[in-house]
Structures are given as structure tokens and as C-alpha cells.
Amino acid sequence: MSKGDNRLKILYIIDELKNKSDENNYVKTTELINALNEKGLNADRKSIYSYIESLIEYGMDIEKSKRGYRLMEREFELAELKMLVDALSASRFIPTKKTHSIIAKLEEMTSEFNRSQLNRQVYLENAVKSDNSSIIYSIDAIHNAISSNRQISFHYLNTVMDYDGEKKYKTVLKKDESGDDKLYLQSPYALLWKNENYYMLSYDKESSRRKTFRVDRMVDVSVLKTKREGGKYFAKFDTAKYANTAFSMFGGDNIDVVLRVRNDLIGVILDRFGSDVGIYRDDDEHFLCTVCVQKSNMFFSWVSGFADGIELKSPKGVRREYIHYLDSLLKAYRP
């Protein structure tokens, strides 16, 4: 390395300003000199002054004061980075490992003093997250297919009960009528982010109607050479209005409840409460599980939405409240 390579000196000075300065911290001239010396590059005060002036002339917003130098403007403000980190942590469709990776990249966009404020480790480790590591690339493939007016093919994951297994359930590819892995052929038209999940809206030629797929359950996504079909079905389709027809549960005190669930709804339970839920066989068609919920009418509404597929077994007091909730609904519709 040339000790007089001014190009490298300027680049290292930029790194020091990005890493060591922020709204509360300055980098002194001596610190910049020492940083360059550690890289084997000679520097003195006069040259540092000159490099800083060149960077300011170039357009970098650098404040000079008796305390040193600090970078005033960045690509993202700290508050914006915090918001992005929280959005990543809350997004169920992004796997935990990929979330960590993206957050680490975002941390590089602020000073080392602020990086600890982007740490959402406790919240992240307890979040319900997808384990589909290919989802980022699936999303990219779908975007490419939409922009290039192409169809896609993919396989679709399904969770089924497996009482012989250690977890009592397993994730498999959906099968066709012959028992082979079903290959889906779809014409994608929109991606929708709702309730921390990503959904693809597409046209299905086989059924001649619109369909919705969870992107985190799509694997082996490939963009085909064939043109999309079903454009007329989406010509006047309002994606925002469609998204607003979905509801979520909220509010109420946390309480443990026991649910009796039909086997084919195991995926619903895992999506809502995570993979650490204790699952116990009740009979050949149902299992029991204990989950922590927020007791409220919205929770009761969520349970009733599955009709006889989910039964609220206990505590008895909560079961009585649920029965009262159902009675009140029936009363509103009785003549």
C-alpha cells in the first residue's frame, strides 16, 4: 500500500466519519491521523484539513467545530432505521436468519454508537417467523414475472399432523390427484403485504378465477417464458380494497386457553402462535393445544370463524364468556 495514496486516505476518512460520528459524537483530527497511520498511510493535520474540505466541496454534509468533525446527513435517519428494523422483526414472512442478516446491513448505515439502538434481539427471537429461507428470492421472481408479463411455476408447502414424529406435525409439498408433488402454474398480478405476511394474487387458468397464495409457502418459484393470462380479471381489481376486507384480533388481557382443533387446521395454529405450541392428540381427527391469547371479542370472533373446526375447551370461565358471546350474536338475528 502506498503511504501517499490520497485516494485511499479520503475513503478511510469517510469510513471513520460514518462509523465514529453522529448527532452526539465528533471525530477529532488526531483520531483521523491515527486511523490512517494504522492503515499504513501517512497523514498530518494539514492534509486532514485538505481532505475534509475536498469532501465538503464534493457535497458531503460535514460539520467542523472545535470538537472535531461529524457527518450531519446520512442516507437514513436513526428513527427511520429503527422503523425499518421493527418492520423486519414483525414481518412473519421473513425468516429469523434472513432478518438478522438484513438488520446487520442496516446497522452499517449508522454510527457504531447508535447500532445498539437497532438491537431488537429479545423481540425478534420470540416472534413467529417463517422458516422458508428462499422467500426473498421467491418475492423477487414474482416481481420479475409481473413486470415482464410472465407466468410462474412453483410448489406449495402444507403442514399436516404426524403423531409419530417428534414435533407431531410435518411440512410437506402439496400433492396432486396422483400423489405426486403438485406443480402450480399461475399468472401473478399483485403482491400484497397483510398481517405481517406476503400474499400473491394471481389468475388460475384451470379454475378460471383469481387465487391467493401465501408467498412463504411457495418454493421452487420459476419465471416461465409463457405470457400471463387472465388480464381482464385484474383490469379493474382494487388491491387496496381487497386488503381491507381482512380482519385481525386485538385487545384484551393475556390468558392461557386450551383449544380442541381439527387436524387439518394445524397450519392455522402454527401460523398464529408459533412452532413452540404444545400439541397433544385428542382423537384421530383432533388435537389439543394450550396457547396464550388476548381474551376479547376479537379472539372469540377468530375462534368462531372456524365453526366446529376449533373448540374453546377451557378455562371454564372463558368458555362461558365465549358461549355468551355466541348467544349474543344469535339474539341479534332472532326475530
Task: Compare 222 and 72 and report the one with higher pLDDT.
Answer: 222
Q: Say what the pLDDT of residue 188 is.
A: 95
Whether the pLDDT of residue 204 is over 90: the answer is yes
Q: Which three cell numbers stand for residue 52?
A: 475534509
Same domain, yes or no, for 233 and 150? yes
Same domain, yes or no, for 139 and 105? no
Q: Say what the pLDDT of residue 120 is.
A: 57
Q: Say what the pLDDT of residue 316 is.
A: 94
H/E stretch holding 85 reads helix 78-90
Same domain, yes or no, for 211 and 156? yes
Q: Count up the domains in the chain and report the number.
A: 4
Is residue 130 included in any domain, yes or no? no
Is residue 279 included in any domain, yes or no? yes
Q: Say what the pLDDT of residue 123 is.
A: 52
Residue type, 2: S
Q: Which of 243, 269, 284 finishes a domain?
A: 243
Give the structural domain span for 257: 253-333
Same domain, yes or no, for 95 and 66? no
Q: Say what the pLDDT of residue 159 is.
A: 86
Is residue 305 included in any domain, yes or no? yes
Q: Say what the pLDDT of residue 1 is.
A: 47
Same domain, yes or no, for 160 and 117? no
- CA pair distance 335, 332, nearest whole angstrom: 8
CATH number, residue 58: 1.10.10.10
Q: Say what the pLDDT of residue 179 is.
A: 87
Q: Say what the pLDDT of residue 64 is.
A: 92
Whether the pLDDT of residue 293 is over 70: the answer is yes
Same domain, yes or no, for 233 and 288? no
Same domain, yes or no, for 220 and 275? no
Q: Say what the pLDDT of residue 200 is.
A: 92
Q: Which three cell numbers stand for residue 283?
A: 382423537
Whether the pLDDT of residue 122 is over 50: the answer is no
- CA pair distance 99, 110, nearest whole angstrom: 18
Same domain, yes or no, for 82 and 42? no
Percent of the chain with pLDDT over 90: 37
Residue type, 155: H
Q: Which of 243, 272, 290 finishes a domain?
A: 243
Q: Say what the pLDDT of residue 249 is.
A: 45
Backbone torsions φ then ψ of 22, nearest 5 degrees: -160, -160
Same domain, yes or no, for 145 and 221? yes
| CA angle centred on 208, ends 206 and 213, rounded to 5° | 75
The pLDDT-based confidence of 272 (bands split at 50, 70, 90) is confident
Q: Say what the pLDDT of residue 118 is.
A: 77
The answer for 257, left when phi > 0, alpha when psi is -120 to 50, beta otherwise, is: beta
For 210-234, what is each residue's pLDDT tens digit? 899 999 899 999 999 999 999 888 8
- Average pLDDT score, the chain: 85
- CA pair distance 121, 127, nearest whole angstrom: 10
Same domain, yes or no, for 149 and 117? no
pTM beyond 0.75: no
Is residue 248 included in any domain, yes or no? no
For 158-186, what is each residue's pLDDT tens digit? 888 887 777 788 888 998 888 899 999 99
Q: Is 182 in contact with 155 (CB distance < 8 Å)?
A: yes
Same domain, yes or no, for 87 and 172? no
Q: Which of 174, 209, 243 finishes a domain?
A: 243
Residue bearing cell 355466541? 326
- CA pair distance 176, 162, nearest whole angstrom: 20
Whether the pLDDT of residue 70 is over 50: the answer is yes
Is residue 1 included in any domain, yes or no? no
- CA pair distance 86, 247, nearest whole angstrom: 21
Is residue 61 included in any domain, yes or no? yes
Is residue 57 included in any domain, yes or no? yes
Q: Is 127 in contact with 90 (CB distance < 8 Å)?
A: yes
Could you tell me which residues are beta bridge partners of residue 312?
A: 259
Same domain, yes or no, for 202 and 104? no
Q: Which residues contact 272 (CB under 8 A, 6 or more apart)?
A: 128, 291
Task: Compare 66 and 195 and report the one with higher pLDDT.
Answer: 66
CATH number, residue 320: 3.30.70.240
